[in-house]
Amino acid sequence: MAELRSCMATVAEEVEAVLDRTLPAVDGPQARLHEAMRYAMLGGGKRIRPFLVVAGADLFEVPRARSLRAGAAVELIHGYSLVHDDLPAMDDALTRRGRPSCHRQYDEATAVLVGDALQSLAFELLADPATHPEAEVRCALVRGLAEAAGAAGMCGGQMIDLLAEGRPLELPQILELQRLKTGALIGFACEAGAVLGGAGEAARQALRGYAADLGLAFQIQDDLLDVTGDAEVTGKDTGHDAAAGKATVVALLGVAGSRRRLEALRRSADAHLDRLGQRTAVLRAVFEFVISRSS
């Protein structure tokens, strides 16, 4: 695990550098927008999604410069979603990564534009020839990320989440919510390396299976932290879901039941990885990290 943390820290630094180069410089008449985009994206975050892209891409010996760019694009989508989710009309979150949320640091209108411009930047980054010399690969990445981010993915999941406030959801509905809200983007992150590496359908299917387990585990752990976590450690408000009457796996299965579910997901994820050959230690360790993290 110490080794994984060191690998993750390295990739996080490399992703930060790509984001720093990709985000617009703080100048021009719209400098405030550029500054707020940088505020939202730089200097924080575990960069788990980019790490998944890199770890998946390493299975197929993809040059690191390419997987980092694809990872940065996924992180831009994730970052924009946090800025918009934190808005008063959405989750109304005061803090993010231990700092004031974007709309509190700037203002609501700026935060809306920050999210919008970050989303555009993600696709601009992917479509650039520096991401991969083959345009077919770049187009596949753009399509995959757009699907994962849109109405059939992350945005759709967020809609279901908003509709679920104060309403009792059954477990299958909650699982569907989380499959879209968190799972779709994590699924794309895991599969992107295979796309970059031109891997066959069997490998992509195994990675999708692993990603589905990981995504759900990630969300359950997130919900557990909301119930049991410490705001100073997580860097965001806790007890927020319960206060909002939000349906979560943890609310339905309880803390102990949720931890049993995490174990079952780990076994399933391992079975998917068994089909991917020898070099899956990093992806196994990521799963371990995700279900044991405290922030």
Least CB distance to a copy of itself at residue 243 (A) = 17
Least CB distance to a copy of itself at residue 90 (A) = 5
Encode burial over 97-121: b for 16+ CB neighbours within 10 A, e otherwise. beeebbbbebeeebbbbbbebbbeb
Looking at beta carbons only, is 132 or 266 nearer to a copy of itself? 132
Looking at beta carbons only, is 32 or 293 nearer to a copy of itself? 32
Least CB distance to a copy of itself at residue 264 (A) = 24
Specify whether the CB–CB gap between 102 and 57 falls below 8 A. Answer: no
The conformational region for residue 23 under phi > 0 = left, psi -120 to 50 = alpha, else beta, is beta
Least CB distance to a copy of itself at residue 91 (A) = 9
Looking at beta carbons only, is 32 or 99 nearer to a copy of itself? 32
Looking at beta carbons only, is 188 or 210 nearer to a copy of itself? 188
Please report which helix (H) or strand (E) contains residue 100, including its range.
strand 99-100
Specify whether the CB–CB gap between 63 and 198 falls below 8 A. Answer: no
Q: Is 293 helix (H, G, I), strand (E, B) or coil?
A: coil
Biggest alpha carbon distance in the chain?
Answer: 54
Positions that interact with a copy of itself (CB under 8 A): 24, 28-30, 32-34, 37, 80-81, 84, 87, 89-90, 107-110, 112-113, 115-117, 119-121, 123-124, 126-129, 134-136, 138-140, 142-143, 146-147, 149-153, 155-160, 162-163, 173, 176-177, 180
